[in-house]
Structure 1
């Protein structure tokens, strides 16, 4: 079976409007193709193994958090892990697809499901990250006014809304994706056959705008507002702590503005991030940096893919018609997809290495699991020892009965 050179036709996102586009795949002979059938399966395998392990651990920690310590941010993080894990479970099938020269051996239903999980993850990930960024904005810039809005019940309703919106954005490509026999290459490919170029351009623009551009504008505005809020010093608030003498502790915007009335003596407290900022419990700043790292990782992972998508849109509108554009679309689309897929494995790693609370809960959960396993093993050992003791006692009783029977038989003799 000949391996097709136009990998953009068979990747998990793009496909031609009609198979007539295959006639132009060999127009640029001076641009060598990338060997996708060996590179892509290897990358997918690494991402799949690391991502499933990391997301499973993250879900266990987030799901086993005490009800009193559950936060809105944790709720969004848990749903983000679910979205990533669902997609990662489909990666082995895509790896086989590439390794077999773009031949899909798993049937029509699996083709639709795997394609849907890819698009669902693309939308759900950025939507949940946007929700996390907006939650951080409300918590830091409007801590008092947002208390009635930022509760777990509303967060769960928002998660349901995100899932519904992500499914709605995925529905068109799910309907169009199917297995299609491409006679030129002799393969049964899992592709999206668009009815006409308008369908492709519309769905591609929706992917770029809703799946990346508009969410990144919202996220950038949230973090710019947070940075402006802290740089302006409005993050410093008056802290009042009761004391035995009825005095109050004040934190002001400068080190030299501490008032010290003669009676009663009031200690001067310098402003610090841990004491002067509106906080949702200790570690809010750490949570902020965690979410910021997740946002940055998403941008770095998915920005190249959307750039290639934009180039493909321009080429489909005949605004670009050159060998470098065709080579970029054919060869960089699968590679930038790999980079985008790696984001599903990076997110839980960020939680582990940046979030101290996450590491602490993971350690506590691991210790608790070890204690339970040790207790179960000890209980099993005790039961086994008790069984051995009972067996030995029973054996002794049998031996005694046997001796008595021998003595009794001797007496009668």
Structure 2
């Protein structure tokens, strides 16, 4: 396969859309000078991704521990939010590999299998996160707008099946990454890189179209509709009913905060993906745009990945029910420790009597 690697700078970095990096056909033929900001970006990328991974993993593990080990079973919304935390944890577990890769001047050291798995994990997060948010916004929509007529839909069993369907969809949509990612030596750059090689431009743009349609446009439309109806319900004529259902309101405010954070973090990324596709098709061009794509592809990727760290923070700041669960879980752990201490005391007393 003849692959063109005379690409602009933004197409030879391991970020942006993980499946549009080091790919064939990503240049419109321009030869623009590299941006002066690259040295700073190369220096900051490994540090940023390492810090993001450590803090994000700690935060999302904490969220999962609270949801999974609390004495009360999870509500439907909490099932969706715990799966969102698991998707974020998957992404954050993959970032250290890319941090090491950037620090090593983009020489991939972890073999072909990890090249595929790491990038597939990132892609599964991209699809999974937004679809879990579709589920959680749909749950809030049913809870507040159609509580009487469709309340049966809000059952934990159905929620778990829906989450399984989202994970299966994410795995299916990540198959091109698993299939086309591989480790190759690039003589032009003197690196052995983890790249994606599509069999044709048609396949490449088909994958881009699927990402935008199923990973952004369609889920965004569903989230926007549900959010609009939720906000109307919260401020509508039935406020008295919602005041009586204070738990539902608290859960809804947390969900709205998580949705807003996700959109603020990911919309710039997807808009830039659209511009990058137009650039690669030759419909737009110029060195100014080339350098803007260079810088924005990095900054918007940082912003998108930061969402995985923001969610646990939002649970603590906005989620009153979550803070209550944390407090109750703390009491559970304290009681267990007291019982364990009492048992040890009794055993030591029995041993003393036995020795006498």
The two structures share one fold, judged by TM-score above 0.5: yes
Q: Could you tell me which residue of structure 2 aligns to residue 307 of structure 1?
A: 271
Out of 299, 302, 324, the residue aligned to residue 360 of structure 1 is 324
Match of 2:109 among 101, 105, 109: 105
User: In the alignment, does 2:333 pair up with 1:333?
Assistant: no
Where do residues 85-100 of structure 1 align in structure 2 (5 Å cutoff)? 85-100=89-104
Taking the aligned partners of 1:274 and 1:387, their CA distance within structure 2 comes to 58
Distance 1:297 1:351, change over 3 A: same
Structure with bigger gyration radius: 1
CA 1:11 to 1:64, structure 2 compared with 1: closer, same or farther past 3 Å? same
Aligned counterpart in structure 2 of residue 274 of structure 1, from 243, 260, 265 = 243
Match of 2:3 in 1: none
Long gaps (5+) in structure 2: 1-6
**Is 2:13 the partner of 1:10?**
yes
CA root-mean-square deviation = 2.6
Residues 1:198 and 2:202 are matched in the alignment = yes
User: Residue by residue, what CA displacement relative to the aligned partner does 1:76-107 show, whole Å, maximum 9, x if unpaired?
Assistant: 11111111112211111111011111111011
Larger relative helix fraction: 2
What is the alpha-carbon distance in structure 2 between the residues aligned to residue 183 and residue 150 of structure 1? 56
Residues 377 and 5 from structure 1, CA distance in 2 versus in 1: closer, same or farther, beyond 3 angstroms?
Answer: farther
Instruction: Structure 1 unaligned segments of length 5 or more: list them.
Output: 237-270, 394-413
2:35–2:294 contact (8 Å) kept in structure 1: no
Alignment correspondent of 2:53: 48
Q: How does 1:210-359 map to 2 (within 5 A)?
A: 210-233=214-237, 235-236=238-239, 271=240, 273-275=242-244, 279=245, 282-359=246-323
Give the corresponding residue for 1:408: none
Decide whether the 8 Å contact of 2:79 with 2:160 is kept in 1: yes
What SS is found at the alignment partner of 1:179?
strand
Query: Cα gap change, 1:320/1:5 in structure 2, threshold over 3 Å: closer, same or farther?
Result: closer
1:373 corresponds to = 337
Q: Distance in 2 between matches of 1:30 and 1:115?
A: 26
Equivalent pairs counted in the alignment come to 347
Cα deviation, residue 121, structure 1: 0.3
* Aligned mates of 2:341, 2:153 — CA distance in 1: 47
Q: Which has the higher contact order (CA 8 A, sep 6+)?
A: 2
Tell me how far apart the structure 2 counterparts of residues 128 and 355 of structure 1 sit (CA, whole Å): 18
Is 1:165 equivalent to 2:169 in the alignment? yes
Displacement of 1:197: 2.2
